[in-house]
Amino acid sequence: MLFGEGGFDLIKFLTSPEWYPSSNSNPRYGILALILGTASVSCLAVLISVPFGLGAAIFISEFCGPKLKEGLKIVIELLAAIPSVVWGFIGLTLMKGIIESVFGVPFGLTVLNGAIILALMCLPIIVSISEDALRAVPDSYREAAQGLGATRWQLIYRVLLPAAKNGLLAAVLLGVGRAVGETMAVLMATGHAVNIPIDGTPPYFHALDSVRTLTATIAAELGETAQGSPHYRVLFLIGIFLFCITFTINLVADLVVRGIRKE
Amino acid sequence: MVATSQNPSKIRIENLGVSYGADPALRSLTMDIPRNEVFGIIGPAQSGKTTLLKTLNRTIDLVPESSVKGSVYIDDEAVVDAPEPVPAKSLTRHGLRDVCGYRRRIGMVAPLPVGLPMTIYDNVAFAPRQAGVKERGQLDEIVERCLTQAALWDEVKDRLTTLGTKLSGGQQQRLTIARALSHEPEVLCLDEFSIAIDPVTTMRIEDVLRELQSEMTIILVTNLVQQARRLARQTAFILNGELVELDDTEAIFSGEANDPRTNEFVSGIFG
Amino acid sequence: MFQETQHVKRKKRAERTAQGVFLGMTLCMVLPLIAVVGFLIYKASPVLSIDFIMDAPERGMRAGGIWPAFWGTVCLVFFSVIIAAPVGVLAAVYLHEYAPENWFTRMVNLAVFNLAGVPSIVHALFGLGAFVLFAGLGKSILAASLTLAIMTFPVIIESTKESLAAVPRSFREACWNVGATRWQTIRGVVLPNSTSGILTGIILEVCRAAGETAPIMFTGAVFFKAVQGGDVFAYGPMDQCMALSMHLHTISTQVPGVPEAIPFATAVVLLGTVLVVNATAIVLRVIIRTRKKW
């Protein structure tokens, strides 16, 4: 049924890059390009947001006075409150213009655009959970290190980060979960091309290509698909696949977080 | 009020065993507590004293994973009657059913003072209101009577709308006693009531207890030797969930008690 | 005079560098917020006014205002709150105050936690399948609100549980000791002292629901509906409606020739409403925390 022959082939569904669901003669439902679209945007987003998020968490937790801490926490909450469609709109307008002028590409809706927007969306979660994890490290560790004459940087690098690594890992995982599940922002910011941004030509990872993610595909195509048709069912199947991925990520993150709360 | 029986013991405990999960807190305790006097209980930490009090007022029902075996009678009425161990939350099938009505027959004062986050007036009126007393005049009378009995009325009578949590530790402990008295208990349990309050307030509360014992049975868990000697005629020594010895207070603290463990513990308290 | 050694000087420099680096990273969080808000307001200024909110769109959304979308969002949020808030709060009270510690309770807690992490598009698919199709509600405000309610209620449960847990156990024990039932204790002491936290949690979740697009796209929100400007009776529960979030998406991606200021102004109205309500809830929370009763 799904590839011109009888029966549904799960392996082909997951590994074929040919996504042509609306072709009348030979509809094909391979989601590899979409999976790689999601993966490339999410990974790049996490790669950008983790260092900045961690840095901000360290600043808030170790270098800040209480009033500034309260103020920064309010900033984080406000940043987290921005709706995803507004972020997508920013990607469509401001970020598109920036990328086009900085990199000289003709079309600024790319993996990089989506990744930067997603990074800004994931920052609040990464910062607050990392800050929780750093705060959970007992003060006795800090006092011991200071007693040995360590600078703040040494304290952070050698004592706090290793001690908080469970919580920091949970923060990263939850950020990944958020990035993978995001719909509207990537729909508007990454363009609409079903495309694999990785191939044999340098620079191997074409961050300036347009891609489409799993989430964006569902959002973009569900409205135009006939109810009950194979295309319709495949979109629901993608939804189940997404649910499984985010469920697993959240489950692992929860186990890790439960681990720090027990200590 | 339940009709009092002729039995000189207010509370009879027979083979009481309580466990939290697999850890036994009380082992086969058998004890009689006489009526209308102060009865002392001493023992080291984790020996089961608080568990005993919780079983007496049936708040053991609310502790998860706990199980109870044995019997407890108040005035010959079965509060707990479980020949085989049963989970504490199903004690309503093995003892008194109207647990909340029963709990109002027992007053409980915990070690750390607790003022509820409401006005002083509402703190003392809380229990009568839950029991159905609605008329303002009646509540006023109850509040004044209990705060007077608890030696707190003079200090707070002009500020009954202050939050209970804003009082000092000693005042909050007296407020707790007033709350406990507001439902006219037959038995008043005090679990190391003086550990978090100043000596002057402690003395005032001890005077209160001396006055109250003619009206109710008072169980005083304490590790202050002088306090037990001042107030309790009889004292029980509980160790590791077992009753080691029950005797006149003077005999327990004399250093020549029947059980060597008692002498060892008592000499430890003396330091 | 104590002279600093080279070693100490180097340490101090490293310390200052580290502080500067982390400060810089923190600014990367603060500056985008200011830049985003500023950029949007700047580009939206030609058309921003009260009339913009109160008027209906004209000329195929290339002029006029956004009233039907604004009011549609208000209706959706209203219906989803009156469904999710009572259910969420009561469920949280049960889970925190009554539920015994067994495998069933653990499963429920796990399910609530995972529901909170489900992507919004999956909520959309669920809403489509369960409310629009299976329950036969069709695309309607009711179906969309139910979908939004399912999306917001796990977070309402979690934040209510946190507010309940903030009330010390000693208060509950003191109430039980004087013979109060569990419900009398909850009603008399626990709930009155956690109401502010519960309300803050609900308000914050409501803001999130107002900004969501995917869950309403297929369950009740439409591209266009002819509605008079300022009409508050425009929508009934079984009608379809326009919504601010969906409107922003539509006019910025699917309608050609819209003057630039209009989508920016729509974004400002949506973002502005969400941020103002959020900030109010946060400030309220700070004020309440400083006026603690214990």
pLDDT the model gives residue A207: 78
- Select from C178, C185, C191, C292 the residue whose CB has the most chain B CBs within 10 Å, as the one to mutate to test that interface: C178
ipTM comes to: 0.90
Most confident of A205-209, C196-200, C235-239: C196-200
A153 contacts in chain C (CB < 8 Å)? 14-15, 18
B112 contacts in chain C (CB < 8 Å)? 170
Amino acid at A48: I
pLDDT in tens, C128-156: 999 988 988 888 999 999 999 999 989 99
Q: Residues C143, C127: contact at Cβ < 8 Å?
A: yes
Strands annotated E in chain C: 57-58, 63-64
Query: Does C177 contact B57 at a Cβ distance shorter than 8 Å?
Result: yes
Chains in contact with C, where contact means 3 or more Cβ–Cβ distances below 8 Å, are A, B
Q: Three-state SS string across chain A, please?
A: CCCCCCCCCHHHHHHCCCEECCCCCCCEECCHHHHHHHHHHHHHHHHHHHHHHHHHHHHHHHCCCHHHHHHHHHHHHHHHHCCHHHHHHHHHHHHHHHHHHHHCCCCCCCHHHHHHHHHHHHHHHHHHHHHHHHHCCCHHHHHHHHHCCCCHHHHHHHHHHHHCHHHHHHHHHHHHHHHHHCCHHHHHHCCCCCCCCECCCCCCECCCCCCCCHHHHHHHHHHHCCCCCHHHHHHHHHHHHHHHHHHHHHHHHHHHHHHHHHC
Q: C219 to chain A: nearest residue by CA?
A: A223
Q: Of C149, C148, C131, give the one whose Cα is nearest residue C140.
A: C131
Query: Does A236 contact C214 at a Cβ distance shorter than 8 Å?
Result: no
Residues 56-75 of A with CB under 8 A from C: 56, 58-60, 62-63, 70, 72, 74-75
Q: Bridge partners of B221?
A: B41, B191
CA A210 → CA A96, A121, A198, distances in Å? 12, 20, 12
List, edge to edge, every strand of the sheet that includes B217-221: B106-109, B187-191, B217-221, B38-42, B234-239, B242-248
pLDDT in tens, B85-123: 999 888 888 777 888 889 999 999 999 999 999 999 999
Extract the tokens encoding A173: 């995982």
Amino acid at B205: I
Q: Of A247, A121, A249, A234, give the one whose Cα is nearest residue A186.
A: A121
CB of C102 within 8 Å of a chain B CB? The answer is no
pLDDT the model gives residue C96: 93
C272 contacts in chain A (CB < 8 Å)? none
Extract the tokens encoding C109: 């807690």
- Of the listed ranges A40-49, A52-61, C239-248, C254-263, the least confidently predicted one is C254-263
What is the architecture, at CATH level 2, of domain C62-290? Orthogonal Bundle (1.10)
Q: Residues A27, A20: contact at Cβ < 8 Å?
A: yes
CB of C173 within 8 Å of a chain B CB? The answer is yes
CB of C151 within 8 Å of a chain A CB? The answer is no
pLDDT in tens, B162-176: 999 999 999 999 999
Partner residue facing A83 (CB), from C114, C125, C212: C212
Query: Does C184 contact B165 at a Cβ distance shorter than 8 Å?
Result: no
Mean pLDDT throughout B183-199?
92
Distance from CA of B61 to the nearest CA of C (A): 11
Mean pLDDT throughout C207-236?
85
Confidence of residue B7 (pLDDT cuts 50, 70, 90): low
CA A245 → CA A96, C118, C213, distances in Å? 29, 10, 22
Q: For C66-70, which contacts have Cβ atoms below 8 Å and span 24 or more sequence positions? A: C66/C244, C66/C247, C66/C265, C66/C266, C66/C269, C67/C227, C67/C229, C67/C230, C67/C231, C68/C225, C68/C227, C68/C234, C68/C241, C68/C242, C69/C242, C69/C243, C69/C244, C69/C246, C69/C247, C69/C266, C70/C244, C70/C269
Confidence of residue B146 (pLDDT cuts 50, 70, 90): very high
HSE on the CB side for B154, CA within 13 Å? 1
pLDDT the model gives residue B269: 67
Partner residue facing A151 (CB), from C11, C129, C282: C11
Residues across chain C = 294
Distance from CA of B85 to the nearest CA of C (A): 19
Residues 139-178 of A with CB under 8 A from C: 151-153, 156, 174, 177
Distance from CA of C7 to the nearest CA of B (A): 52
pLDDT the model gives residue A259: 67
Partner residue facing C101 (CB), from B64, B108, B116: B64
Partner residue facing B117 (CB), from C100, C173, C193: C193
pLDDT the model gives residue B5: 55
Mean pLDDT throughout C215-235?
82
pLDDT the model gives residue A1: 37
Mean pLDDT throughout C269-276?
91
How is chain B split into domains, by residue range? 112-178
Query: Does B62 contact C176 at a Cβ distance shorter than 8 Å?
Result: yes
Residues 72-101 of C with CB under 8 A from A: none
C193 contacts in chain B (CB < 8 Å)? 117
Amino acid at C57: P
DSSP secondary structure code for residue B45 in this structure: T
- Of the listed ranges A2-6, B21-25, B137-141, the least confidently predicted one is A2-6
B-C contacts at Cβ under 8 angstroms: 69
Low-confidence spans in chain A with pLDDT less than 50: 1-6, 263
pLDDT the model gives residue B140: 94
Partner residue facing C294 (CB), from B57, B112, B117: B117
How is chain C split into domains, by residue range? 62-290
pLDDT the model gives residue B6: 59
Query: Does C177 contact B59 at a Cβ distance shorter than 8 Å?
Result: yes
Chains in contact with B, where contact means 3 or more Cβ–Cβ distances below 8 Å, are C
Task: Give the span between the Cα atoms of C161 and C88, in whole angstroms.
Answer: 10
Q: Residues A206, A40: contact at Cβ < 8 Å?
A: no
Domains and CATH numbers, chain A: 1-30 (no CATH), 36-237+246-262 (1.10.3720.10)
List, edge to edge, every strand of the sheet that includes B77-87: B23-34, B9-20, B66-74, B77-87
CB of A89 within 8 Å of a chain C CB? The answer is yes
pLDDT the model gives residue B1: 41
Mean pLDDT throughout B148-158?
92
